[in-house]
Structure 1
Amino acid sequence: GGLASLKTGLEGLGLGSSVIGPIPSEDGKAVQFIAPIDSSGEVKESVQELRDFIAEGAPEGMQTFVTGPAGLAADLTSAFAGIDGILLLVALGAVFVILLIVYRSLLLPIAVLLTSVFALCAAILLVFGMAKLEWIQLNGQSQGILSILVIGAATDYALLYVARFREALTHTTNRTSAVLTAWKASFEPILASGATVIIALLCLLFSDLNSNKGLGPVAAAGILCALFAALTLLPALMALLGRAAFWPFVPKLVPADQREPELVTGLEGQKGLWRATGSLVSRRPRTVWVASVLLLLVASAGILQLKANGVPQTDVILSASNAVDGQDALARHFDAGSGSPAVVVADESKADEVLEKVKAADGVGDAYLLAAGSVPITGAPGTPGSPDVREGKVLINATLNYAADSIEAEDAVKVLREQVKTVDADALVGGVTATALDTNTTAQRDLVIIIPIVLVVILIILMLLLRSVLAPVLLVLSVVLSYGAAMGVSALVFNNILGFPGADATVPLFGFVFLVALGVDYNIFLMSRVREESLKHGTRPGILRGLGVTGGVITSAGVVLAATFAALSIIPIMFLVQLAFIVAFGVLLDTVLVRSLLVPALAYDIGPRIWWPSKPGRPELDAAVQRDGRGSLETDLEGAGHR
């Protein structure tokens, strides 16, 4: 009686006669109802209403679950609910602590954070305006990534500007002059960096997946706002604060005759870590870059262990989930795929033949035609209880022997599609498993299409910025190698430390877009300064000078970006936890190894030819360095530097 009244109550919730059940399990320990929910409506609210009703109406002592596609979707939505505020606070807190350590000042970190928060507010307004106009699709995933990306990018651009502002304050007592000098010096690399990331993100529009298409414009809008804030609000704040922003470590005015010493080695005026790094690069450039490449290649080997062919939906949510518990209960008491059958759309005239093929297909436990209201029937078309025919088509439900979100179920759907095509060439196979299969296939296609587009776009931007062909090619190769190493290490961590069963099929693409675009950022910061110094002092001294003056800034920017992306890991969604690790680790790897050692050492080894086909620099100094053989650089170049 209790179960019958439960069904009546479910039908009274607006589900009508489409409720199937109660269906008892063979072991007699469970029953299930199948209740379709309109996916175009408020799924989370509908599922919660079902859960509340069942919990109250079920017989005493009975455990109840609402699972299946709608239940999992509702729990996935709940995992994002209320997390945005916490995520933002964690990211801002991490950035503030890092900035305090970097600047040893209170006012400057606050000014930088104000810039970042302003950029985020502008991005939110812009994105929601675009969504209201129905230009883009918004979801919890893209909103979480937007917050992290804007805070990290705006802070990175701010770090670069502040470094130039500090440098300008050592040359003048006029704060307005220092603000303008810093703006002119940082405008080109910041703009090139932002444009690179924006265009790379917009390449996601070439995806056939709506989730990817939606993220591209959202994230690009965020970077645009970060650019705007770093080049407008931050200079205004620096003009207002002047030297006081750096208190208590205020930059001191350097006498004019000491500001631009003639560089001999490129190490003059440097000290500590970056002098040591520059010295290592200058003494053994080939050893350094070859060793770096080998290390990255070894790390890249781990990518063979990456299982990015999708994961069961029950593993996507890392927190407690009623739907996941329900799936476990279904697997214990019913056919594994009973809650999410495959759905075959076939021609009415071939319904019986298609049904027989479906029943005979490997991996199918049971199959039946559907009448109006999704009720299973066995009658022939045209008889009482005949199938529901719409536009000459009928529906067949096929219960698989495997969990709907398993690899085995996807293989069964592939077989099922082949079987029904032998009878009805126009037959279609849908359902949860088929959707997951098609999504994974499309994600693999996107990877092949979008990666080359992103690389070509980045290459063109670098060529325009550096007025070179060879340097951009080498820089792109370096970030691709860095990406491979990051993915290789990530695969080993996911499999052996975190114990994840695999990764979503979109993880490699998102990891690539973020890592390559952001990795090129740091190379842009470095090489634009190297080119500037090369024009004054020669290529090889310019490389060491550029490395020394940007080293601390870029490393700080990398740590900030890694920390902000790491904050994504507080969201209990496997995809975001994996993306957080990939980007955080990859950015640190790119900052510490690729930008600090590999790129400078390779450029130093190649020398002036790095700018091919252009020839910037001081030829007499480059020639002197080449004759020296780089073995006793500091000694033998002393005369050359003053000829």
Structure 2
Amino acid sequence: MSGGHGFSGAGRVLGRLVGPRVKWLVVVAAVLVSAAAFAFAGQPKAVSTTAASLPDSAEAAQVAALREQLPSSGVTPAIVVYKAASGEVDTQAVEASRARAVAAVQKWAPTSAGAGGGAPATTIPPQLSKDKGTALVLVPLKADLPDGDNSEAVKALRAAVREGLPQGLTATVTGGPAFGADIGAVFDGADIRLLGATAGVVALLLLVTYRSPWLWLVPLTVVGTGDQVASKALTVLSRISEVRADGAVTGITSVLVFGAGTNYALLLIARYREELRRTEDRHDAMRAALGSAAPAILASGGTVILALLSLGLAEDPFAQSLGYAGAMGIAVALLYALLVLPAAMVLFGRRLFWPFVPRVGTLDPSHAGVWRRLGDAVTGRPVVVGLAAVAVLVTLALGGLSLSVGQSPNEQFLEKPEAVVGQEQLAAAFPAGTSEPATIIARASTADAVTKAAQGVAGVQEVRKAGGGDQLVELSAVLDASPGTTKAFDQVRALRTAVHAVPGADALVGGTDAEALDARTTADRDRWLLFPLILGIVVVVLLLLLRSVVAALVLVATVIATYVASMGASWFAFQHLLDYPPLAVSTPLLAFLFLVALGVDYNIFLTTRAREEAAGGSHARESIVMALAVTGGVITSAGILLAAVFAVLGVLPLVQLAQIGVIVGFGVLLDTLLVRSVLVPAVVSLLGERFWWPSHPADRAAGQAAGRSADRAGSAAEPEVSH
């Protein structure tokens, strides 16, 4: 048996839970625990769909916190954009529409719309563009509305502003509340769509894999139940911690549970079917299967869990939440795959595999199948094949030379919602930063000095007082750069430098562009910290499992190559085929985590089997060929299934989730079909026994066999002691 002592010992312990009587207890206990989770989990803690992914230490986050201390903190404006089809807007129609809008949202409006000494938002007259073809109106709403109330308020506002408009005049609602409502709408019913699409993909691929009318139902039922239990556990976790159970976190967690859980099921069932050809009793066959497969599954799942937990060190709150939620989900997937699935499988016996029932003594067709022939071909010419594989990876990686990171709010949707349309209309008619000005918070006594400093910054169009109190003042600075652009970020940096230099002001700059800039800085820091940490986790797990420094380093190098190639190929597709915007700032880190932690799974499954063959006396070349022959089919099925499950993220119309689905899905296929099937066998063939350095599986196995023979001989020669 291969693997570290702890992993192997776990396999033996798990084997005790599939006995003739114990299996029923395990299944009944799983049903009761799952039912309890469904019945008592409750509802997740409400989260704001507009919550910024910024640590509290970020300057923009500090500005947001200070704004809450100001008298105007309870106000956030929705922006109504009136646009004439031709000529000038009808100002009387705009005024009438604004009056209807204010009345329609009265129950969601602040009790005092005053802006810290400025005019109440309801009395600010409409702002007209230079050509008078567009008008802008601010409608104040409470800043602390729950997501449900915010969505209702925006819906009522949109209906009111359009009522009775003359022909040729349109009204569009945008601004912070509108973006929050539109993001919330993206996830309305998303959990049902995602679950349905994921279950459908998994069911189809399992049916094709097993070619049995009912075998696929067992792993699908077990994994699907595990997914729902993980979802309920996330609900509880969100109420007792700061973990956000928003649509993106729950969606990715569900994909992880389904993908990883099904991969573990495929590996276990394949090994169980293999053992059924050797063992008459199905319980003994499952014990043997667990003894061999559980170490690899535990190592694989442990790697993913530890890598996800490392996200707890990230400064990005979204990454932190996803890390904890995903780690919990993978733990649930492991429990259901290694505890519930084996017991459920042995309930039905061999007939579950009908019409391809494995009989004792029958030859495993994989030993002489296509994967055996591929292994022989690769190891027969390892230099040529290995160089060709590397050339493919390098070519794909070149597609990422122009990789760009950083999405503006308008670029985060696959389909433009009304909030984005309104922003585009504003950008076309008014100075670029009108709708999203920078916010400056400073000591009230230095307001004039800070205003003067800000006005002296190139690109600042206007600086005006937006609110304040006795201690602090809030200033609004309109920039001439389009939101989310490099020019806007440069202007924010220049603005910060200018106001920071005002003596005694303690001035800080926030706002949408400042938040985006700080998010980029946060993401850069997280990548520098977590990339090497995740790689270190993978190396340590591989060292414990394979006890080989060379093998661990080779496998880590291959998953890094897969990540780089997948990013390059995906970016080329985003730019030239899919017309996607730049990557979201957290996407490179999440893609790296999933591809490295999940991608190493298949190398773990392959090399642990190769080590098992080597321990039986096979040379490194023969051991990797045999490992590829017996695992090639199941690992390829698992890779295709995992890639398809990640592609399902595209049912959620957010660009970031679609991009993650493409990058990880393509990377998993690349790892499965090229790296694991071609490059790794070629490298093992070239290195020979050095691949296992400093351990020598064959020598170790021979030594253990000799020791057992000596023990038996000694026992036979020992004289009987008379009492």
Q: Structure 1-normalised TM-score?
A: 0.89
- SS of the residue corresponding to residue 109 of structure 2 reads helix
2:441 counterpart (318, 324, 345): 345
Aligned to 1:34: 138
- SS of the residue corresponding to residue 108 of structure 1 reads coil
- SS of the residue corresponding to residue 120 of structure 1 reads helix
Separation (CA, whole Å) in 2 of partners of 1:350 and 1:340: 24
Separation (CA, whole Å) in 1 of partners of 2:642 and 2:101: 53
Is the alpha carbon distance of 1:344 and 1:238 closer, same or farther for their aligned partners in structure 2, counting shifts above 3 Å? Answer: same
Q: Describe how 1:228-267 pairs up with structure 2 within 5 A.
A: 228-254=335-361
Separation (CA, whole Å) in 1 of partners of 2:696 and 2:144: 61
Separation (CA, whole Å) in 1 of partners of 2:231 and 2:536: 30
Contact 2:109–2:140 at 8 Å: present in 1 too? no
Q: What is the aligned length? A: 593
1:608 correspondence with 2:689 = yes
* Deviation for aligned residue 1:22: 3.0
Aligned to 2:189: 82
Separation (CA, whole Å) in 1 of partners of 2:339 and 2:331: 12
- SS of the residue corresponding to residue 473 of structure 2 reads strand
Q: Describe how 1:186-225 pairs up with structure 2 within 5 A.
A: 186-225=293-332
Cα deviation code 1:434-466 (max 9, x no counterpart): 111101111111111100000001100000000
2:245 counterpart (138, 146, 154): 138
Separation (CA, whole Å) in 1 of partners of 2:185 and 2:510: 26
Separation (CA, whole Å) in 1 of partners of 2:357 and 2:189: 41
* Deviation for aligned residue 1:498: 0.9
Contact 1:608–1:617 at 8 Å: present in 2 too? no
**What amino acid is aligned across from residue 567 of structure 1 in structure 2?**
V
Q: Describe how 1:378-389 pairs up with structure 2 within 5 A.
A: 388-389=468-469
**What amino acid is aligned across from residue 145 of structure 2 in structure 1?**
G
Separation (CA, whole Å) in 1 of partners of 2:330 and 2:663: 20
**What amino acid is aligned across from residue 668 of structure 2 in structure 1?**
V
Separation (CA, whole Å) in 2 of partners of 1:217 and 1:322: 34
2:508 counterpart (424, 428, 435): 428
Separation (CA, whole Å) in 1 of partners of 2:155 and 2:242: 35
* Deviation for aligned residue 1:47: 4.5
> What RMSD in Å do the two structures reach over aligned CA positions?
2.1
Separation (CA, whole Å) in 1 of partners of 2:246 and 2:366: 51
* Deviation for aligned residue 1:194: 0.3
Aligned to 1:280: 377
Separation (CA, whole Å) in 2 of partners of 1:252 and 1:13: 70
* Deviation for aligned residue 1:532: 0.4
Aligned to 1:449: 529
* Deviation for aligned residue 1:70: 2.5
Cα deviation code 1:156-207 (max 9, x no counterpart): 0000000111011101221111121111111100000000001011111111
Aligned to 2:665: 584
Contact 1:337–1:403 at 8 Å: present in 2 too? yes
Q: Describe how 1:594-633 pairs up with structure 2 within 5 A.
A: 594-617=675-698
Q: Describe how 1:137-536 pairs up with structure 2 within 5 A.
A: 137-254=244-361, 270-308=367-405, 310-371=406-467, 388-390=468-470, 392-424=471-503, 426-536=506-616
Larger CA deviation: 37-46 vs 433-442: 37-46
Unmatched segments (≥5 aa) in structure 2 = 1-94, 115-120, 703-723
Contact 1:404–1:433 at 8 Å: present in 2 too? yes
Is the alpha carbon distance of 1:81 and 1:11 closer, same or farther for their aligned partners in structure 2, counting shifts above 3 Å? Answer: closer
* Deviation for aligned residue 1:129: 1.3
- SS of the residue corresponding to residue 662 of structure 2 reads helix
Larger CA deviation: 536-545 vs 577-586: 536-545
Separation (CA, whole Å) in 2 of partners of 1:185 and 1:594: 23
**What amino acid is aligned across from residue 372 of structure 2 in structure 1?**
R
- SS of the residue corresponding to residue 305 of structure 1 reads coil
Separation (CA, whole Å) in 2 of partners of 1:35 and 1:358: 27
Separation (CA, whole Å) in 1 of partners of 2:455 and 2:366: 80
Is the alpha carbon distance of 1:49 and 1:607 closer, same or farther for their aligned partners in structure 2, counting shifts above 3 Å? Answer: same
* Deviation for aligned residue 1:247: 0.4
1:5 correspondence with 2:110 = no
Larger CA deviation: 428-437 vs 41-50: 41-50
Contact 2:372–2:626 at 8 Å: present in 1 too? no
Separation (CA, whole Å) in 1 of partners of 2:493 and 2:212: 61
Is the alpha carbon distance of 1:587 and 1:269 closer, same or farther for their aligned partners in structure 2, counting shifts above 3 Å? Answer: closer
Is the alpha carbon distance of 1:193 and 1:4 closer, same or farther for their aligned partners in structure 2, counting shifts above 3 Å? Answer: closer
Q: Structure 2-normalised TM-score?
A: 0.79
Separation (CA, whole Å) in 1 of partners of 2:287 and 2:701: 33
Separation (CA, whole Å) in 2 of partners of 1:31 and 1:321: 20
Contact 2:127–2:137 at 8 Å: present in 1 too? no
**What amino acid is aligned across from residue 132 of structure 2 in structure 1?**
G
Unmatched segments (≥5 aa) in structure 1 = 260-267, 372-387, 622-643
* Deviation for aligned residue 1:54: 4.8
Larger CA deviation: 488-497 vs 1-10: 1-10
Separation (CA, whole Å) in 1 of partners of 2:142 and 2:617: 68
Matched-pair identity in %: 38
1:559 correspondence with 2:559 = no
Separation (CA, whole Å) in 2 of partners of 1:166 and 1:620: 25
Is the alpha carbon distance of 1:419 and 1:234 closer, same or farther for their aligned partners in structure 2, counting shifts above 3 Å? Answer: same
Contact 2:249–2:325 at 8 Å: present in 1 too? yes
* Deviation for aligned residue 1:48: 3.5
**What amino acid is aligned across from residue 500 of structure 2 in structure 1?**
K
* Deviation for aligned residue 1:609: 0.9
- SS of the residue corresponding to residue 367 of structure 1 reads strand
**What amino acid is aligned across from residue 529 of structure 1 in structure 2?**
R
Aligned to 1:640: none
Larger CA deviation: 398-407 vs 201-210: 398-407
- SS of the residue corresponding to residue 404 of structure 2 reads coil
- SS of the residue corresponding to residue 64 of structure 1 reads strand
Contact 1:43–1:70 at 8 Å: present in 2 too? no
Contact 1:69–1:340 at 8 Å: present in 2 too? no
- SS of the residue corresponding to residue 17 of structure 1 reads coil
* Deviation for aligned residue 1:104: 0.6
**What amino acid is aligned across from residue 478 of structure 1 in structure 2?**
T
Is the alpha carbon distance of 1:23 and 1:335 closer, same or farther for their aligned partners in structure 2, counting shifts above 3 Å? Answer: farther
Aligned to 2:221: 114
* Deviation for aligned residue 1:405: 3.0
**What amino acid is aligned across from residue 643 of structure 2 in structure 1?**
A
Separation (CA, whole Å) in 1 of partners of 2:517 and 2:464: 22
Contact 2:154–2:178 at 8 Å: present in 1 too? no
**What amino acid is aligned across from residue 346 of structure 1 in structure 2?**
A
Separation (CA, whole Å) in 1 of partners of 2:482 and 2:126: 18
Larger CA deviation: 128-137 vs 507-516: 128-137
Separation (CA, whole Å) in 1 of partners of 2:648 and 2:402: 25
- SS of the residue corresponding to residue 170 of structure 2 reads coil
- SS of the residue corresponding to residue 556 of structure 1 reads helix
Aligned to 1:14: 109
Aligned to 1:60: 165
2:235 counterpart (100, 120, 128): 128
Larger CA deviation: 58-67 vs 351-360: 58-67
Contact 1:6–1:54 at 8 Å: present in 2 too? no
* Deviation for aligned residue 1:135: 4.7
Aligned to 1:630: none
Contact 1:558–1:591 at 8 Å: present in 2 too? yes
- SS of the residue corresponding to residue 63 of structure 1 reads strand
Is the alpha carbon distance of 1:273 and 1:43 closer, same or farther for their aligned partners in structure 2, counting shifts above 3 Å? Answer: same
1:99 correspondence with 2:99 = no
Contact 1:37–1:43 at 8 Å: present in 2 too? no
Larger CA deviation: 329-338 vs 450-459: 329-338
